[in-house]
Amino acid sequence: MSEAEALVKNWDQHPMLRPRIEKVVVNLNVGKSGEPLEKANKVLKEITGQTPVKKKAKKTIRDFGIREGESIAVVVTLRKQKAIDFLKKVLPVVDNKVAKKSFDIHGNFAFGLKEHIEIPGVKYDPEIGIFGMDICVTVNRPGQRIKNRRKENKTIGPKHMLTPEESIVYIRQTLGVEIV
C-alpha cells in the first residue's frame, strides 16, 4: 500500500483528520485607483460571482505613484462549494498543474494567472483590458479554527497539524491536480 492510500484509509477511519479547502482568496492588484480599479472590480465580480472588497495601500511609494490609504487592489474570498467550483474552473488554465514549491509548511498553496481571459467562459472586452490575478488556497483540517479564533484560542498538537504531503494527496484526490 502506498503512502497516499494509507493516508486516505486513515482519513476514512478518522474523519477529523481529513483535510478540506477552507477558503480561496482571489487578489487582483492594479496598483492605482480610479477607472482601472473599477474595471478590475467588474472583472472579479464577473469571474467569481461575489462582490469584491477594495484594499488600500499600506504605505506611500513615490516611484510607483502610490499614496498611503489609496485603494489599489480588489480581493474576493470564496468558501465551501463556491471555492471548489472556482478552483475547478481556474485550474485548467494552468493545465491542472501546481508546483510543489507553491505549497507552504502548513499545506496551503498559491498560483497566479497572467490573463483573466484564459478562464473558460470569460470573453475579452477591449474597454476593460486584461488583468492577472493571484489565487491563494487555504487547506486545513476540522478543528483548526481553535488556533485562530479571537476568544479562548488554543494551540493544536503537532499530530493534528496538516503537512504539505497530506495537502498534496488531498488536492490530487479532490481536484485531480498534478504536482510538478
pLDDT, tens digit, 9 for 90 and up, residues 21-38? 999 999 888 877 788 888
- pTM comes to 0.84
Q: What pLDDT, in 10s, does the model give residues 73-107?
A: 899 999 989 999 898 888 888 888 888 888 888 88
Taking each helix axis from N to C terminus, what angle separates 164-175 and 80-90, rounded to the nearest 10 degrees? 80
φ and ψ at 108, to 5 degrees?
A: -80, 155
Longest Cα–Cα distance in the chain: 58
Domains and CATH numbers, the chain: 3-27+74-179 (3.30.1440.10)
CA atoms of 140 and 20, how far apart (whole Å) = 6
Per DSSP (E only), the strands in 127-174 are 133-140
What is the distance between the alpha carbons of residues 105 and 108, in angstroms, rounded to a whole number?
8
Residues of the chain with pLDDT under 70: 1
Contact status, residue 33 vs residue 71, Cβ threshold 8 Å: yes
